[in-house]
Amino acid sequence: MTIQTAGANAAPTITTELAGGSSAAGPAPHSPELVQGTFVDLAGVTRAKNVPARRREVFAKNGLGAPKVWVVFNADNNFAENDTFNVTGDLRLRLDTAALRHLDEHIVWGPTNLANQDGTPSEYDPRTTLANVEARAEQAGYSAQFGFEFEFLLLPNEIANDRRPDIFARPWLGYGAQPFIEQDAFFADLTVAADAAGIELEQLHTEWGTRQYEVSVAPDTPVAAADKAVLFKLLVKRTAARHGLTAVFSPKPFPDQAGSGGHIHFSLTRLGNGEHLFSGGRGVYGLTAEGGHAIAGVQAHLAELTAILSGSPVSLLRLQPDTWSGAAIGWGLENREVAIRYAAATLGNPRGANIEIKTGDAAANPYLALAGLLSAALDGIEQSQPLFKPTEGIPASFSEEEKKERGLVPFPNDFDEITRLFGESKATRRWYGDGIVDAIVAIRGLVKATYGDTSDEDLTTLFRHVW
């Protein structure tokens, strides 16, 4: 961003070079006046700091203060304080100016990296963690692409905080045209905002759940995809507010209504020749040997990654059988009841074969989610992890022997067990580092101590608008 003055009496022009080659320029007040930098904490909550546009370079070089206790922020704004994280100590949020994008004509957005006071990356920074895993993939000769599909509710502001809004009693047509017509002005504005921000939307439609919609974001490289996930949710919330609506991304906003996912599509190609690992091979469904090992690696570590992918206080209420949430650990061709849904390379899949992780939700930190999935896939390739048989039906319909052949097991559905699996995993500590793992374990301990006996209705009401 540069500030140019044409003359003593001329209005200053602020020109901001944005990611994707676009720019915002013009006389104030139509030029961006604010720069917003976001940080997604370990509880999946997007925190933000804002500066006048003229202070952008300070935000980037020196950073803005973030108390060290931010590392153990809970989703309810309490802290899991201990000897490491307490009232002393400070970190810095440093804006990545190479990733700036438009929020609207007045505000430019960018992701931040969590840094130490001397400017070095903090061991607790999710974005740096993902960047390191992306570099590991490239060093191994692979390029990864991730794309998010977000489900969310659109509720009129006046009822968004009601425990059981009457709106759910009205007729609803899953995937219907009529419900979309009711919000088509919102989606038209969202498309314009996404285009201005350089985010390609692939599909927008009503969902099966009442008052639920889904939007698919085009895939990108790991860090860029996670950045877009953060920005997309901000754009949805801002656009909804302009239409008198509240966008709700909670995995389970109401105990008796459908949950909302944040599905993650994942593909791998070889650097240099661009060959796909999930197609063009001699394995089942055309998988290459490496592609099969990658899927096997993800399947092998999904239980430990539940604390990341479905780790919020309400996520387990969504992760149930017969809800298309992928509540069984396994993989299969176009199977929505297993955690890993394989999409083959067909005419109807122009971007090529990929796997969809059904268990992710919008409360997950996108940087940590992608770091875990990519690390698991790379481990699977490096260790030649054998691939289980695919699951070609409802998981509950298989015999115990058939389940064993497919590696079919239910996800852990106990909050403490999920915490234990994550904290004791050698793999997660290698991927994320002890600092992040211990901090998340501390956060989850506080959640359990605070809400262990809370009813589903109270829990879903309390956390409805957090993510």
Give the C-alpha separation, 152 to 405, whole Å.
Answer: 36
Give the C-alpha separation, 118 to 133, whole Å.
Answer: 23
For residue 399, which phi and psi values (nearest 5 degrees)?
-70, 170
- Six token digits for residue 422: 């994550």
- For the chain, domain boundaries: 2-123, 132-462
Per-residue pLDDT of the chain (467 residues), as tens digits, is 332 323 333 322 333 456 654 443 333 345 789 999 999 999 999 999 999 999 999 999 999 999 999 999 999 999 999 989 988 999 999 999 999 999 999 999 999 999 999 999 999 999 999 999 999 999 999 999 999 999 999 999 999 999 988 889 888 999 999 999 999 999 999 999 999 999 999 999 999 999 999 999 999 999 999 999 999 999 999 999 999 999 999 999 999 999 999 999 999 999 999 999 999 999 999 999 999 999 999 999 999 999 999 999 999 999 887 777 778 999 999 998 999 999 998 877 888 899 999 999 999 999 999 999 999 999 999 999 999 999 998 888 999 999 999 999 998 989 999 999 999 999 999 999 999 999 999 999 999 999 999 999 999 999 999 99
Residue 117 confidence (pLDDT): 97
- Six token digits for residue 375: 């690390």
Residue 19 confidence (pLDDT): 64
Work out the burial of residue 189: count CB atoms within 10 Å of its CB; fewer than 13 is exposed, 13-18 middle, 19 or more buried.
middle
Its sign, for the CA torsion 160, 165, 171, 175, is positive
Please state which CATH number belongs to domain 132-462: 3.30.590.10
Contact 199, 230 (CB under 8 A): no
Residue 8 confidence (pLDDT): 31
3-state secondary structure the chain: CEEECCCCCCCCEEEEECCCCCEECCECCCCCCEEEEEEECCCCCEEEEEEEHHHHHHHHHCCEEEEHHHHHECCCCCECCCCCCCCCCEEEEEECHHHCEECCCCEEEEEEEEECCCCCECCCCHHHHHHHHHHHHHHCCEEEEEEEEEEEEEEEHHHCCCCCCHHHHCCCCCCCHHHHHHCHHHHHHHHHHHHHCCCCEEEEEECCCCCEEEEEECCECHHHHHHHHHHHHHHHHHHHHHCCEEEECCCCCCCCCCCCCEEEEEEEEECCCCCECCCCCCCHHHCCHHHHHHHHHHHHHHHHHHHHHCCCCCHHHHCCCCCCCCCEEEEEECCCCEEEEEECCCCCCCCCCEEEECCCCCCCCHHHHHHHHHHHHHHHHHCCCCCCCCCCCCHHHCCHHHHHHHCCEECCCCHHHHHHHHHHCHHHHHHHCHHHHHHHHHHHHHHHHHHCCCCHHHHHHHCCCCC
Give one word for 168, left, alpha or beta, with left for phi > 0 and alpha for psi -120 to 50.
Answer: alpha
**Bridge-based pairing state of the strands 328-333 and 212-217:** unpaired
Give the C-alpha separation, 459 to 314, whole Å.
Answer: 7
Asked whether this chain's domains 2-123 and 132-462 adopt the same fold, the reply is no
Answer yes or no: CATH 3.50.30.10 is held by domain 2-123: no
Residue 377 confidence (pLDDT): 99
Residue 113 confidence (pLDDT): 99
